[in-house]
Amino acid sequence: MAGRNVHQLSLARKQQVAVIVLIGLFVWPLLLRGLVYQFDVSPWRFAGFSMYCVPKRLVNATLHQMNNAPIELEPGSTADRALTEFGGSTQTWGPHKPASTLWKTLRQEQPDKGRLLVIVRIWELDRSTSRIVQTMHRYAEPNR
Amino acid sequence: MASGGTADSTTGLSRTLASDNWPQRILSFASEPLNSEQEAKVRAFASILMIHLSSRAWIGALGTDPINLRYVAFAIPLTLAMMAVLLGRHVRAAFFLATLTQLVICITTFPEIANHRYLETLCIAALCSFDLSKSEERATLLEFLRWSLVIVLFHTGLQKLMYGTYFDGQFLGYATATSDRFALFFQFFMPSEELERLQSQVPLEPGSGPFAVPHLTFLVISNAVWIFELVVPLLMLWSRTRTWATIAAIAFTLSIQMGAHEFMFGLLFTNMGMLFFTRAYNRWLIVPLAVAYLYLILATIGVAPWPEGMFIN
C-alpha cells in the first residue's frame, strides 16, 4: 500500500521532503508572477495566491468574417458554447492560447462562410491610469 | 512527545540546536515545546479538515441544477473518509482515500479551480504522509502545516505589493464599484459622493474610472491590508508574538473572507490557524464548525435561510 510505504520513510527523509515542498510553495507564486507578466495568464488561478490583487478580466469573444462582418451564432448552439469556452480559457490562459481547436466546431455550423475570424476583446484595469482599458486579439482561421 | 498527559520540557529550539539536520532546523522555526496537547490538536485539525472536504464536495454537488454528478462521485468517498476519521477507524486508509479524491478533483477541474483547493490537498496529503501515532512525526506535521499557512498568508501580501493595486486603493475602489458586498463594507470609509462616483462607473466600458480613491481613511485601509499580510505571518513564527499574531490573523482573514463571501477559505484558514496555539483549543471547534458546515449544505439546497444572491463558496 502506498500509505504504508510513505510511513516507512525515516523522519529525516520526511522532513527533507516537507522542506522541499515548502520551498516550492514559496517559489511557485513568484514564478507565476513572471508567467502573468510574460504571458498574461490569470493571477487568480494556478496556486499563485494572488487573488484579489487585480480584478478578473472581462472577456468577450465574437465570430466574424475576414472583412470584420459579424456572424450571429444561435445562442446555446455548439459553436456558441465553443466560442464562449474559448473566451473563458483566454481569461485563464491569456490571449496567447491558440485557437486551433476552435475552427472545426465553428466550421461545422458555418460551412458556407469564407475564412472565419474570432475577435476576443479583453477589458482589464490599467494600473497606471486606474481605468478600464480594452485590448483586442484577432484569431484568423488557417487557409482552407 | 510526552504521552499520558505529562509535558515534555524539550523545546523546538533545543531540538534545533541538537540537530545537524538542515530541514529540521528550518521546520523548527514554526515549532513549539513538545507537549501532551499536540495529539489532540492534530486529531481535531484532521476531523475539521475532513468535515470541510466532505461539505465542500456536497456543496459543489448540490449547488447546481441539475445536481453535479461528478461532485457527487467526489463527495461519497470524502464522506466515507470523514466518517472513518471521526470514528477513529481505519484512519490512515481514510486519509489516503481523501488525498486520492482531492488529487482527482484537482486534476479533473484544472485550471478552473480555487487556490484553496490546492491548500486543502496539501493539508490532507500531509496528514496522509505522517504517522500520527508518533510524537516526533506529529511535531513535524504541525511545523509543516504552520509553515504552509505562514507562506500562503505572506504571499497574499507580497503579491498585492508586487501588483501595486492597493497603494492608491484602485483594486478596492474597483471592487466597491462593481460589487455590492464590497460597497456595503467600504461605504463607511469614504464620502458618499465618492461612493456614488465609483458606482456610476457601472456598467463598465473602456475608459471607465479612475478607480483610485483619494480619501485618507480608505487609503489607510487599502495599504494596511497588504502590510498586515506581510508582517503578521512573521510574527506568527516568533514564539513571543505567536498567540496574538494568530488571533489577529484569524480575525482579519475571517472578517475579509466573510465579507468577500469566501466562506470555505475563511473556515480552512481558521482550522489551520488554530494549530498555532499551544493548547488544543480547536477540539472545542469541531461541533460548532460541523454545525456551520451542515448549515451551509442545507442553505445550498434551500432548506436553511440564506440571503438572496449570496453565493456559497
Split chain B (313 residues) into runs of 10 and give each run's mean pLDDT: 40 57 88 88 97 95 90 96 96 96 95 91 96 92 96 95 95 93 88 94 91 94 95 94 95 81 86 95 95 92 78 67
Residue A8's closest chain B neighbor by CA? B131
pLDDT (0 to 100) of residue B145: 97
pLDDT (0 to 100) of residue A95: 87
Q: How many CB atoms lie within 10 A of CB B14?
A: 14
Domain ranges of chain B: 12-23+34-162+279-300, 170-213
Look at the block and give the residue holding cell 480559457: A89
pLDDT (0 to 100) of residue A144: 66
pLDDT (0 to 100) of residue B274: 96
Look at the block and give the residue holding cell 473556515: B267
**Whether the Cβ atoms of residue B194 and residue B188 lie closer than 8 Å to each other:** no
A53 chain-B contacts, CB cut-off 8 A? 159-160, 162-163, 165, 171
Q: Strand pairing of A116-126 and A131-140?
A: antiparallel
pLDDT (0 to 100) of residue B65: 84
- DSSP alpha helices (H): ranges in B164-300? 170-178, 180-186, 192-199, 216-237, 242-259, 263-273, 286-300
**Whether the Cβ atoms of residue B53 and residue B100 lie closer than 8 Å to each other:** no
Residue B122's closest chain A neighbor by CA? A21
CB contact under 8 A, A43 and B159: yes
pLDDT (0 to 100) of residue B277: 95
**C-alpha–C-alpha distance, residues B59 and B303, integer Å:** 13
CB contact under 8 A, A29 and B159: yes
State yes or no: pLDDT of A101 exceeds 50. yes
pLDDT (0 to 100) of residue B15: 55
State yes or no: pLDDT of A107 exceeds 90. no
CB contact under 8 A, A123 and B204: yes
**Whether the Cβ atoms of residue B176 and residue B183 lie closer than 8 Å to each other:** yes
C-alpha dihedral sign at B124, B128, B129, B131: positive
Look at the block and give the residue holding cell 515542498: A21
DSSP letters spanning chain A:
-HHHHHHHS-HHHHHHHHHHHHHHHHHHHHHHHHHHHHH---TTSTT---TTSSPPPEEEEEEEETTS-B----TTSHHHHHHHHHHHHHHHH-TTS--TTHHHHHHHH-TTSSSEEEEEEEEEEETTTTEEEEEEEEEEPPP-
Its pTM stands at: 0.89
Comparing C-alpha atoms, which of B208, B161, B177, B165 is closest to residue A128? B165
Comparing C-alpha atoms, which of B111, B138, B183, B131 is closest to residue B1? B138
CB contact under 8 A, A125 and B209: yes
Interface test with B, best of A1, A14, A44, A57 (most B CBs within 10 A): A14
Asked if the C-beta of B205 comes within 8 angstroms of chain A's C-beta atoms, the answer is yes
Mean of all residue pLDDT scores within chain A? 89
Number of helical (H) and strand (E) elements in chain B, helices listed first: 14, 0
Domain ranges of chain A: 2-39, 58-140
B126 chain-A contacts, CB cut-off 8 A? 18
Tens-place pLDDT, residues A43-73:
999 999 998 999 999 999 999 999 989 888 8
User: Is ipTM > 0.95 here?
Assistant: no
